[in-house]
Amino acid sequence: MDSPYKIAIIGGTGKVGRHIATHAIQKGYHVRMLVRNPERLLYTNEKIEIVKGQVQDIDSIRELLKDCKIVINTFGQPTKGEQIYSKVTKTIFAVMNELNINRYIGVSGGSLTINNDKKRILNRFGAKMFEVFLPKMMQDKKSEWEFLLNSKQIEWTLIRLPFVKDSLKSYQIKENLTDMPGTKITNQDIATFIIDHINNPQYIHKAPFISH
């Protein structure tokens, strides 16, 4: 049975985003995706509505989010060039507040370390390497986290991911709030976890790690 909810997906053409769109449709949700170049889409589905636009453009975000109840953001920040991920998240939240949308699920890397984390030595070392070799990207991720902490009016969840494996296989998903429980996860299982937690309050205003 179709759900009355419409989901807005940012980053829907990426490795994870397209699985989220497919899984959402299978669960009966309506889906709208923001796409920079629709003519380059490698897959189409009559149940997916496409909005052509840029993540940096607030008018594109407004067109994407109208009539939606949930926002899923898997936009991938390039390692080179201007770090815009935190700016994009702020724009999304501004439009969500305008349109009275209150459920947001985003993703980040397991290298993001926050208060109350209890990472094992190997994971602390890995996070430190990211800070050394990709300092601008990590600072931007931390800026986004600080913004989220001050955005209690929206029911957000930030999912921290390990290495993502492109696979249709599903495995047992491990969850932890203080340390990454494994080293990898399939994009299929990320999609399953995200869609299953749309109406689950367990991780509202939290940043769980998930892995296999």
Question: Which pLDDT value is given to residue 78?
Answer: 64
Structure confidence at residue 11 (pLDDT): 87
Q: Characterize the bridge pairing of strands 30-35 and 70-73.
A: unpaired
pLDDT at 139 over 80: yes
Three-state SS for 44-82 is CCCCEEEEECCCCCHHHHHHHHCCCCEEEECCCCCCCCC
| pLDDT tens readout for residues 35-82 | 888 877 767 778 899 999 999 999 999 999 999 999 999 987 665 678
Residue among 16, 17, 180 at smallest CA distance from 8: 17
The domains of the chain, with CATH numbers, are 6-207 (3.40.50.720)
Sign of the torsion angle spanned by Cα atoms 124, 130, 135, 139 = negative
Number of helices followed by number of strands (H, E) in the chain: 6, 10
pLDDT confidence band for 3 (50 / 70 / 90): low
What pTM was computed for the model?
Answer: 0.95
Averaged pLDDT, 79-105: 92
Instruction: Look at residue 168 and tell me whether its pLDDT is greater than 90.
Output: no
Q: Quote the mean pLDDT of the chain.
A: 92
Average pLDDT in the 2-8 region?
79
pLDDT at 177 over 90: yes
Query: Which structure tokens are listed for 17?
Result: 């985003």
